[in-house]
Amino acid sequence: MAMASTVFKARKVVGGKARGPALVSREPVCFLGGVDTKTGLFTEKDHPLEGSNIAGKVLVFPIGKGSTGGAYLLYEMVLNGVAPVAIVNLKAEPITAVGCIVSEVPMVDQPDADLFEAIQTGDLVEVDADAGVVTVVGKGPDGI
């Protein structure tokens, strides 16, 4: 699987470094009514992530939406060990940002590459939020 890795810049929202398999949604994400905080299972009906598990993933989506309760729910997922390890957005919406600040989940936004071209579900991704760098280390063979 030695492939040339894709690297792109993004803006630091919340600092930190993390590595994990990517889980990509082209649709906005809300943690309330969208994710089971005990298991990390995504539950929103008809959402592209329905049935996926976000635990340990680098979660990639355009922007947060919906309930302002999402911030504490992310914090609860960290406590329960089922949170995403990092979040990559096109645009940081304040609820997601505050959730990441309190939970200390690394987060970046405003990528200088086409996010959904660069990262597919299952790719191994490294997020260095402090440096504002996202690296696709390896292309996933078979998704999650």
Residues interacting with another protein, by CB under 8 A? 13-14, 28, 32-34, 37, 43-46, 62-73, 75-76, 78-79, 91-95, 97-99, 101-102
CB 125 within 8 A of CB 136: yes
Cβ proximity to another protein: between 23 and 136 the closer is 23
Tokens representing 98 are: 């505050």
CA–CA dist 125, 92 (Å, integer): 19
Q: Which helix (H) or strand (E) holds 92?
A: none
Least distance CB 113 / another protein (angstroms): 21
Least distance CB 17 / another protein (angstroms): 18
Beta strands across the sheet bearing 11-14: 6-9, 133-138, 124-128, 17-24, 58-61, 86-89, 107-109, 11-14
Question: How big is the chain, counted in residues?
Answer: 144
Cβ proximity to another protein: between 27 and 112 the closer is 27
CA–CA dist 67, 96 (Å, integer): 10
Question: Which amino acid does the sequence have at 50?
Answer: E
Please confirm, yes or no, whether 52 is among the known catalytic residues. Answer: no
Cβ proximity to another protein: between 85 and 136 the closer is 85
Least distance CB 26 / another protein (angstroms): 12
Tokens 């914090």, residue located? 75
Cβ proximity to another protein: between 44 and 128 the closer is 44
Least distance CB 28 / another protein (angstroms): 6
Which residue is catalytic, options 5, 25, 52, 67? 67
- Which of the residues are catalytic? 67
